[in-house]
């Protein structure tokens, strides 16, 4: 038992650290660090730099641009990426549709989609949730009926993150309503330019435009866009959702944020001293650090346990990482609001860069409260924390 | 980075598990052990000796087996599972930890083989009433005279101090009550004139003692380690004890969690197992989260206790203890609540686990104390 990295692992880490900090533009990393919205171009620029180095899709099959890394190397990659405030390669492309196509898609799908998906030439959106199908995703109602060489899609998807930038959307659609709800779902790829698709922004409480509703009205989709077998979409969805085990807790990112909270607290005046001098604040910060350290080791244990066994089985650790990871992420954004103090209040207009210059108060402070508001999402999405507790109770405690 | 046990460590863990589940399979046995003259089972102590557990952390040159913090963690985790009452922490971790580092060749040769054979137990008489959790707060004095030293003072809640064959006593040879310098350690035979011991049971079924020292004369060679320089050593050994406590609490937490989950499956109300109710399922799920996080911090403690920089080591151990103690408290209370009335009865196991966890959580500093240590250090040390 040894927490330390081997010399090879340290060399691997240092190479990545240098690359991320030298090659990804500081202007982009600064936005990530401050929790500000990124422009489409920021994602594209960053992902293409990573992809040119083979660092956008390390978890894909090696034949399609993946890396033959150990679990520890994969872990270090995610940690360092987040610690350097590099935008994560677009999850819809890299962690979701890419692996599904690589695993279940036809050869033609792979040739057509995988290279452009890796390079973010195609921007994918996720069409899973519906107004009536959230935690109970399998009750989804968007239908696809077969007519000749096409599927005709009708229905509504929602919470479509960054759908405003999307070129394509991968959707779960109902192709058989006469069977058990999980058994009548298919996984289909739809070009967002197809007639009959309407996208409507949803503005969230932080003022951001991150999510959308997508309406499908008699949308004609070539039958060849079906991935895998008809009515097997639920299996592919489960595969997809279990795919982001490393990184779901965003430990590297929270570490970076807590370090930032510390720096800002040391620099922010509070009466006779600084915010940092307030013992109650320091205690809350210490708790976040302690919980994060425990979670980091929990995550390392998961990584270590993955060596030499298939990783597509559910595992209580992914639910633990989700629950604790989201709680600590939320706590870290709250600490930031507390450091900002009165200057958490101003909500000035932003320029097109998303920056507020000249600033009202400290130049970071106006982003604090929106980030805190925005981060309420992390205990809701990806299977709410209550759903995670259901999973733990049923699958691991046998209740 | 490596979280695997070696084959030897796995075998060690398995054999302790068998030994503990054999000796502690029936809860009535534990009651009987506690009723023995020393407050624990001599027969168990001999079995530990035969298995090599009592010589585990000592070097092979001293007659031990050269085990490290991971081995201690494995032992204490299993002891936690069984609610073992024997004085392992007092004799091997605390007493042995001080002796192996501070003892000279003659002291080690006299005592370590006897500890390993199970014929000699130790207790660390350090705590004083006014000190609470401050390890440097020592009022007991040791005054030099022609033949050696004269000890005066009062020590409290000395774990297994009533039955220990030797005490290791901390006392001031210089400085004021709260100075870091000037603390020394002495080996003391409790039969020496002027030593009064008042033994008692602890809330969790173990033993402790109040020790009063009135003009107790010890020879010069009773000094353990360098005069006046014991505090860094005491801090290190108490950190090792914290790592052991984290492991012991983890073992107890896991058993209590499993006991609770089993109960949820068996107990029926409203015509069904109460484990069908989501309000209870979610609390059980939180118990799993709490134990997994505690396991991670128990491992962190075992690894960081070897850290060379004392400030980094102390901060890390305080972080580990704070989290384990907090989770032990949450889990213990949830276990009682989910069981309902049965758990507050003397005859059922759950309450005893709860009591042990409560006492372990406070031993050598409670959550608030350890959080203060982390806060004072400005946060956790960065791993290399």
From chain A, the residues in CB contact with B374 under 8 A are 286, 289-290
- Per-residue tokens: B235: 């801090």
Nearest chain B CA: its distance from A2 CA (Å):
5
3-class DSSP assignment, residue A185: strand
Token match 């350097």: residue? Answer: A84
Q: Which residue of A has its CA nearest to B275?
A: A399
Work out the number of other CB atoms within 10 angstroms of the CB of residue A379.
Answer: 18
Q: Quote the CA–CA distance of A121 and A98 in Å, as a whole number.
A: 13
Interface of A with B in 223-282 (CB under 8 A): 262, 279, 282
Could you tell me how far CA A120 lies from the centroid of its own chain?
15
pLDDT in tens, A223-266: 999 999 999 999 999 888 776 655 678 999 999 999 999 999 99
Could you tell me how far CA B369 lies from the centroid of its own chain?
17
Tell me, yes or no, if B278 comes closer than 8 A to chain A by beta carbon: yes
Give the model's pLDDT for residue B4.
83
Give the model's pLDDT for residue A255.
93
Indicate yes or no: CB of A283 within 8 angstroms of CB of B289.
Answer: no
Could you tell me how far CA A252 lies from the centroid of its own chain?
13
Tell me, yes or no, if B293 comes closer than 8 A to chain A by beta carbon: yes
Tell me, yes or no, if B292 comes closer than 8 A to chain A by beta carbon: yes
Tell me, yes or no, if B201 comes closer than 8 A to chain A by beta carbon: no
From chain A, the residues in CB contact with B281 under 8 A are 389-390, 393-394, 397, 399
Tell me, yes or no, if B286 comes closer than 8 A to chain A by beta carbon: yes
- pLDDT at residue A312 is higher than 60: no
Nearest neighbour of A390 by CB, restricted to B275, B281, B289: B281
Share of chain A above pLDDT 90, in %: 80
Helices (H) and strands (E) in chain A, counts: 13, 10
Separation in Å, CA A110 to CA A104, A228, A233: 9, 12, 17
Contact assessment for residue A325 and residue A248, using Cβ atoms and an 8 Å cutoff: yes
Tell me, yes or no, if B4 comes closer than 8 A to chain A by beta carbon: yes
Q: Quote the CA–CA distance of A154 and A141 in Å, as a whole number.
A: 9
Tell me, yes or no, if B11 comes closer than 8 A to chain A by beta carbon: no
- Who's near A64: CB < 8 A, 6+ residues apart? A57, A98, A102, A110, A114, A115, A118
Tell me, yes or no, if B37 comes closer than 8 A to chain A by beta carbon: no
- pLDDT at residue A309 is higher than 60: no
Nearest neighbour of B1 by CB, restricted to A5, A285, A290: A5
Give the model's pLDDT for residue B131.
97
Indicate yes or no: CB of B284 within 8 angstroms of CB of A2.
Answer: no
Q: Quote the CA–CA distance of B150 and B213 in Å, as a whole number.
A: 9
Average pLDDT over residues A83-102: 95
One-character DSSP codes across B59-115: -GGGTS----HHHHHHHHHHHHHHT--SSHIIIIIIIHHHHHHH--HHHHHHHHHHH
Q: Which residue of A has its CA nearest to B315?
A: A290
- pLDDT at residue A67 is higher than 80: yes
- Who's near A195: CB < 8 A, 6+ residues apart? A219, A220
Give the model's pLDDT for residue B384.
45
- Who's near A242: CB < 8 A, 6+ residues apart? A311, A312, A313, A314, A318
pLDDT in tens, A168-197: 999 999 999 999 999 999 999 999 999 999
Supply the DSSP symbol for A396.
I
Tell me, yes or no, if B288 comes closer than 8 A to chain A by beta carbon: yes
Q: Quote the CA–CA distance of A248 and A383 in Å, as a whole number.
A: 11
pLDDT in tens, A162-176: 999 999 999 999 999
Nearest chain A CA: its distance from B127 CA (Å):
26
Give the model's pLDDT for residue A302.
83
- Who's near A75: CB < 8 A, 6+ residues apart? A246, A299, A300, A303
Q: Quote the CA–CA distance of A50 and A67 in Å, as a whole number.
A: 13
From chain B, the residues in CB contact with A389 under 8 A are 281-282, 285-286
- Per-residue tokens: B46: 């001999």
Nearest neighbour of A393 by CB, restricted to B70, B284, B379: B284
Q: C-alpha dihedral over A346, A253, A42, A368, to 10 degrees?
A: 0
pTM (two decimals): 0.94
From chain B, the residues in CB contact with A285 under 8 A are 379
From chain A, the residues in CB contact with B1 under 8 A are 2-6, 9, 72, 300, 303-304
Contact assessment for residue B371 and residue A287, using Cβ atoms and an 8 Å cutoff: yes
Q: Quote the CA–CA distance of A186 and A155 in Å, as a whole number.
A: 14
Please report the ipTM that was assigned to this predicted complex: 0.95
How many residues are recorded in chain A?
A: 399
Q: Quote the CA–CA distance of B103 and A351 in Å, as a whole number.
A: 70
B contact test, residue of A263, A302, A393 with most B CBs within 10 A: A393
Give the model's pLDDT for residue B208.
98
Nearest neighbour of B296 by CB, restricted to A286, A297, A305: A297
Give the model's pLDDT for residue B241.
98
From chain A, the residues in CB contact with B253 under 8 A are none
Indicate yes or no: CB of B292 within 8 angstroms of CB of A320.
Answer: yes
Interface of A with B in 301-330 (CB under 8 A): 301, 303-305, 316-317, 319-320, 323-324
- Measured between its terminal Cα atoms, the distance across chain A in Å is 33
Tell me, yes or no, if A11 comes closer than 8 A to chain B by beta carbon: no
- pLDDT at residue A345 is higher than 90: yes
Q: Which residue of B has its CA nearest to A395?
A: B285
Tell me, yes or no, if A298 comes closer than 8 A to chain B by beta carbon: yes
Nearest neighbour of A324 by CB, restricted to B293, B379, B383: B293
How many residues are recorded in chain B?
A: 384
- pLDDT at residue A56 is higher than 80: yes
Supply the DSSP symbol for B24.
T
Tell me, yes or no, if B274 comes closer than 8 A to chain A by beta carbon: no
From chain A, the residues in CB contact with B278 under 8 A are 390, 393
Contact assessment for residue B48 and residue B107, using Cβ atoms and an 8 Å cutoff: no
One-character DSSP codes across B322-378: HHHHHHHHHHHHHHHHHH-GGGGSTTSHHHHHHHHHHHHHHTTS-HHHHHHHHHHTT
Residue-by-residue pLDDT tens, chain B, 384 positions: 778 889 999 999 999 999 999 999 988 999 999 999 999 999 999 999 999 999 999 999 999 999 999 999 999 999 999 999 999 999 999 999 999 999 999 999 999 999 999 999 999 999 999 999 999 999 999 999 999 999 999 999 999 999 999 999 999 999 999 999 999 999 999 999 999 999 999 999 999 999 999 999 999 999 999 999 999 999 999 999 999 999 999 999 999 999 999 999 999 999 999 999 999 999 999 999 999 999 999 999 999 999 999 999 999 999 999 999 999 999 999 999 999 999 999 999 999 999 999 999 999 999 999 999 999 999 998 764
Indicate yes or no: CB of A393 within 8 angstroms of CB of B3.
Answer: no
Contact assessment for residue A238 and residue A104, using Cβ atoms and an 8 Å cutoff: no
Q: Quote the CA–CA distance of A22 and A86 in Å, as a whole number.
A: 11
Q: How many CA atoms lie within 13 A of B378 on its CB side?
A: 10
Token match 């009536």: residue? Answer: A132
* Omega within 30 of 0 (cis) for the link into A358: yes
Indicate yes or no: CB of B371 within 8 angstroms of CB of A9.
Answer: no
Q: Quote the CA–CA distance of A224 and A189 in Å, as a whole number.
A: 9
């Amino acid at each position: 038992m040894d927490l330390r990295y081997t010399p090879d692992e340290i060399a691997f880490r240092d190479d990545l650290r240098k690359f991320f900090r030298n090659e990804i533009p500081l202007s982009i990393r600064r936005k990530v660090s401050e929790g500000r919205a990124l422009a489409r171009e920021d994602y594209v620029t960053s992902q293409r730099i990573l992809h040119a180095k083979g660092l956008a899709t390390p978890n894909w099959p090696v034949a399609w641009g993946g890396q033959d890394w150990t679990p520890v190397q994969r872990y270090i990659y995610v940690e360092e990426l987040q610690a350097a405030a590099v935008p994560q390669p677009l999850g819809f492309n890299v962690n979701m549709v890419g692996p599904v196509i690589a695993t279940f898609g036809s050869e033609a799908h792979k040739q057509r989609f995988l290279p452009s998906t890796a390079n973010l030439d195609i921007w994918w959106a996720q069409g899973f949730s519906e107004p009536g199908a959230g935690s109970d995703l399998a009750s989804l109602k968007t239908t696809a009926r077969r007519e000749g060489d096409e599927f005709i899609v009708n229905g509504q998807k929602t919470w479509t993150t960054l759908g405003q930038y999307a070129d394509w959307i991968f959707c779960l659609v109902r192709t058989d309503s006469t069977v058990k709800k999980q058994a009548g779902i298919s996984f289909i790829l739809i070009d967002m330019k197809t007639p009959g698709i309407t996208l409507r922004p949803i503005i969230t409480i932080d003022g951001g435009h991150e999510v959308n509703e997508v309406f499908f009205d008699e949308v004609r989709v070539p039958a060849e866009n079906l991935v895998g077998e008809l009515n097997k979409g639920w299996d592919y969805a489960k595969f997809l959702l279990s795919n982001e085990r490393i990184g779901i807790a965003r430990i590297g990112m929270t570490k970076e944020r807590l370090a930032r909270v510390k720096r800002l607290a040391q620099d922010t005046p509070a009466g006779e001293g600084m915010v940092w001098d307030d013992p109650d604040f320091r205690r809350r910060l210490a708790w976040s650090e302690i919980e994060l350290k425990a979670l980091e080791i929990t995550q390392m244990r998961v990584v270590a346990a993955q060596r030499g066994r298939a990783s597509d089985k559910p595992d209580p650790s992914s639910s633990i990482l989700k629950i604790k990871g989201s709680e600590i992420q939320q706590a870290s954004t709250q600490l930031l609001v507390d450091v900002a103090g009165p200057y958490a209040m101003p909500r000035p207009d932003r320029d097109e860069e998303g920056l507020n210059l000249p600033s009202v108060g400290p130049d970071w402070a106006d982003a604090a409260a929106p980030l805190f508001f925005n981060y309420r999402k992390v205990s809701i999405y990806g299977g709410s924390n209550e759903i995670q507790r259901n999973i733990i109770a049923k699958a691991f405690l046998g209740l | 980075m490596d979280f695997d046990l070696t084959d030897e460590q796995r075998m060690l863990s398995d054999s302790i598990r068998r030994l503990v589940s054999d000796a502690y399979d029936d809860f009535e046995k534990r009651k009987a052990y506690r009723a023995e003259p020393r407050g624990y089972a001599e027969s168990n102590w001999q079995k530990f000796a035969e298995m090599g557990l009592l010589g585990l952390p000592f070097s092979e040159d001293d007659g031990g087996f050269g085990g490290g913090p991971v081995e201690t963690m494995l032992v204490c985790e299993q002891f936690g599972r069984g609610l073992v009452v024997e004085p392992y922490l007092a004799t091997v971790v605390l007493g042995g930890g001080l002796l192996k580092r501070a003892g000279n060749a003659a002291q080690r040769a006299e005592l370590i083989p006897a500890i390993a054979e199970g014929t000699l137990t130790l207790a660390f008489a350090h705590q004083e009433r006014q000190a609470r959790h401050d390890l440097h707060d020592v009022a007991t004095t040791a005054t030099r005279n022609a033949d050696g030293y004269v000890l005066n003072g009062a020590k409290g809640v000395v774990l297994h101090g009533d039955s220990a064959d030797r005490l290791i006593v901390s006392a001031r040879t210089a400085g004021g009550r709260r100075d870091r310098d000037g603390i020394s350690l002495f080996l003391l035979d409790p039969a020496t004139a002027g030593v009064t011991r008042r033994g008692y049971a602890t809330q969790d079924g173990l033993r402790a003692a109040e020790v009063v020292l009135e003009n107790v004369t010890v020879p010069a060679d009773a000094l353990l380690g360098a005069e006046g320089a014991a505090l860094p050593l005491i801090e290190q050994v108490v950190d090792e004890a914290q790592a052991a406590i984290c492991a012991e609490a983890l073992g107890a937490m896991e058993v209590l969690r499993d006991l609770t989950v089993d109960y949820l499956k068996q107990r029926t109300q409203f015509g069904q197992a109460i484990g069908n109710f989501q309000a209870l399922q979610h609390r059980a799920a939180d118990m799993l989260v709490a134990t997994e996080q505690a396991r991670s911090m128990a491992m962190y403690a075992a690894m960081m206790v070897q850290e060379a920089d004392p400030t980094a080591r102390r901060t890390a151990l305080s972080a580990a203890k704070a989290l384990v103690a907090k989770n032990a408290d949450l889990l213990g209370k949830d276990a009682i609540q989910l069981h309902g009335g049965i758990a507050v009865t003397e005859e059922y196991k759950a309450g005893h686990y709860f009591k042990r966890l409560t006492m372990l959580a406070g031993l050598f500093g409670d959550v608030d104390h350890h959080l203060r240590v982390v806060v004072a250090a400005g946060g956790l040390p960065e791993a290399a």
